[in-house]
Amino acid sequence: MFGELDEYLLVFLTGLLVTYLLTPIVRKIAFRFGVVDKPDERRTHKRITARGGGVAVVIGVHGACLLAVLFPWSHSSGVLDFAWWQKYALASVVLLVVGVVDDVRGMRPLVKLGGQILAALVMWFSGTHFGTFLGHDLPAPMDCALVVIWLVAIINAFNLIDGLDGLASGLAGISAVGLTGILLMQQIPGEVLLLAGFIGACLGFLRYNFHPASIFLGDTGSMFLGFTLGVVALQTFTKNTFLISMTIPIMVLGVPIYDALLAIWRRSIRSWVSGTGGKRGIMQPDVDHLHHRLAKSGLSTQRVATFLYILNGGLVTVGLSIMFFQSHAAGIFLIALLAGVYVLMRQLAVIELRETGRALLMGLHRPTHATSKALAYPIWDMFCLSGSLAAIMWEIEGQRTDFWHTWFVDLPVWATPTFSLLALSRTYITEWQRARLRDVLMVLCWLFSGTLLSLGLALVIDPANGSKWLIRAVLLAGISHPVIIASRLVYRCIEEVVLWLRRHDDATNQLERVLLYGAGTRAQLFLKDRALKVSKKSDRRHLIGFIDDEKSLHFQWVYGLLVLGGLKELPYLIERRRVHRIIIVSELLPESRTALPEIAASGGVKLSEWEPAEHEISLSPKV
């Protein structure tokens, strides 16, 4: 008799050995029929490589499944029985046909999507459901739609991530280990048998797929990996609360899901900017996936795969921690979310954030109808003032009886004075994309003046409720004023973010690296002038920092850049920071202007000067 661990080991070895032995055979067949990948700009391999290795993975997983369901053990019985396997096998055949045809001949995206939806529908009719939402059973049409969306999303997530040797199969194996831990904690070990065979098949194929790969999964394998993990993840949904049900699978299937989300985000923004149409743009391949940008940063293929393995393993650990410490699930999720957002935005989503910022700036630069432009800020300001007043009266003051009548009566007192002062000032004829600090301070002045005027009117009308009106005035200013000011500054904020992201671009080493000499007022004018130009089109320069003769500024942050030293440190900085150009943006001391050209020449860097100078234009007399 087999012991409990022996049974899992036997299923694992079946998936491992079947896949390991079949992969060389599939590779020979692929070469014989010309099912190969040729190197190009989107692929990292340097030689022609067989494609379609996923066929071996599919056979290995189903061989292990047959062993698990045909010889069931009483302690490991679950919903994934022989009847379920038949439906799962049918859905797998659908994906297998779609994948093989795509690997051999190519297939239109919509046809491939139709095959994925068909496979997902087969699983839904087999009894694989999304579960409940906030304790309520979902209607059948909604449940079906959610299952299809979930499975198609995971299928395509693994399809997109399959662009590097060993990446998709390795990440799938790590995710399967995480799902195994979840199912064991839920005490449904029968489903674990399927994952044991799946992990074995991934490892068996990884022997031939890790760098340098001799065969690739192809769409046949990548779609099957995502499909299987998505199906098993659905088994965990009904066993937990809604938060845990959704969080754990997303964490465990981590890297492929996040890469797919970034791809949709990035391609949608680019298609909007280029005007090519959203659907076509999203389906257009690119070379900005996570593995591509890590490779561009200088990491080898093995290191990129290892880094993403570790990242996915960390996400799996977070998912298991949430499952194990369910009473602290919200706290763990919040900490993991904050850490994930930081890493994602700081390191992994720089391209997407930069493209989004450029798109927003382009949208703000685009000309609008004069009437619409003139009405935008007044309507927004009135909405902020009246909405803030309504929120204060309803939530804080508890004015629920005859609310609308009271609000309508109080509105002229608390919103009209401020709005009138803004209208009488020049705020509504100011071009806020080119505004100065003085313009912002003037708006603040009129806002506070209007609030004080409203407070005075309220005290005149009803002096008995002086404390109530004072509190209302403070709350109204605290809620509405920041929002109104933010609407004026949003363009400049986006502009600054875009410039910051450009300085931290992955392709920084390919740009001209520039030091600015002088950190005074002219430097600020230079940066503003550059900001207006770069927001429209990149100047292919990376600003490293400042050099300045004033020692008190050394190693201080000025205008968002660090002052790295003075003239004495310049030769060292040229070599250390790999400087290509020095731009003079200040009035230099005579000794600095004399020595600077010599230092630049000896360091092999270019030297230029920027100045917003006034030039006399000669006027030719009319003949």
pLDDT confidence bin for 43, thresholds 50/70/90: low
**Is residue 31 pLDDT above 70, yes or no?**
yes
User: Would you state the structure tokens that stand for residue 306, as one six-digit string?
Assistant: 């290892």
Sequential DSSP letters for 197-262: HHHHHHHHHHHHHSSSPSB--HHHHHHHHHHHHHHHHHTTGGGS-HHHHHHHHHHHTHHHHHHHHH
Three-state SS at 610:
coil
Coil/strand/helix, residue 520? coil
**Domain coordinates of the chain in residue numbers?**
4-348, 370-501, 507-609
Q: Which of 250-264, 472-486, 503-517 has the lowest mean pLDDT?
A: 503-517
Q: Is the pLDDT of residue 274 over 80?
A: no
Q: CATH assignment of 507-609, given 3.30.70.20, 3.40.50.720, 3.30.70.120, 3.40.50.2300?
A: 3.40.50.720
22 — pLDDT class (breaks 50, 70, 90): very high
> Is residue 460 over pLDDT 60?
yes
496-505 average pLDDT score: 61
**Are 301 and 170 within 8 A, CB to CB?**
no
Distances, alpha carbon 442 to alpha carbons 384, 395, 403, 421, 435, in Å: 18, 31, 34, 11, 11
pLDDT band at 508 (very low <50, low <70, confident <90, very high): very low
For residue range 277-300, list pLDDT tens digits in order.
Answer: 444 456 666 777 777 777 776 677
The contacts of residue 188 (CB under 8 Å, 6+ apart) are: 78, 79, 235, 239
**Looking at residue 202, what is its pLDDT?**
93
pLDDT (tens digit per residue) in 415-440: 988 988 888 877 777 777 667 777 88
**For position 166, what pLDDT does the model report?**
84
How high is the pLDDT of residue 278?
46
Phi–psi pair at 561, nearest 5 degrees: -125, 155
Q: Residue 118: which of 156, 146, 80, 151 has the closest Cα?
A: 151
Sequence-distant contacts of 298-306: CB under 8 A, at least 24 apart: 301/44, 301/164, 301/165, 301/211, 302/210, 302/211, 304/164, 304/167, 305/164, 305/165, 305/166, 305/167, 305/170, 305/210, 305/211
Q: What pLDDT is attached to residue 340? A: 61
Q: Residue 497: its pLDDT value, please?
A: 67
What is the predicted pLDDT for the residue at 73? 58
Q: Which of 130-144, 197-211, 575-589 has the lowest mean pLDDT?
A: 130-144
Mean pLDDT of the 479-499 span:
79
Residue range 533-553: average pLDDT?
Answer: 77
Whole-number Å distance between alpha carbons of 266 and 268: 6
* Residue-wise pLDDT tens digits, 375-410: 778 888 899 999 999 999 988 888 878 888 889 889
Which tens digits make up the pLDDT trace of 583-622?
Answer: 999 888 888 888 999 999 998 999 999 887 776 776 666 5
pLDDT tens profile 93-131: 999 999 999 888 888 888 899 999 999 999 988 888 876
Range among 370-384, 488-502, 545-559 with highest mean pLDDT value: 545-559
Taking alpha carbons only, the member of 523, 571, 517, 514 closest to residue 543 is 514
Indicate whether 346 pLDDT > 70.
no
Query: Would you give the DSSP letter of residue 609?
Result: E
- pLDDT tens column, 329-343: 555 555 665 566 556
pLDDT at 366: 47
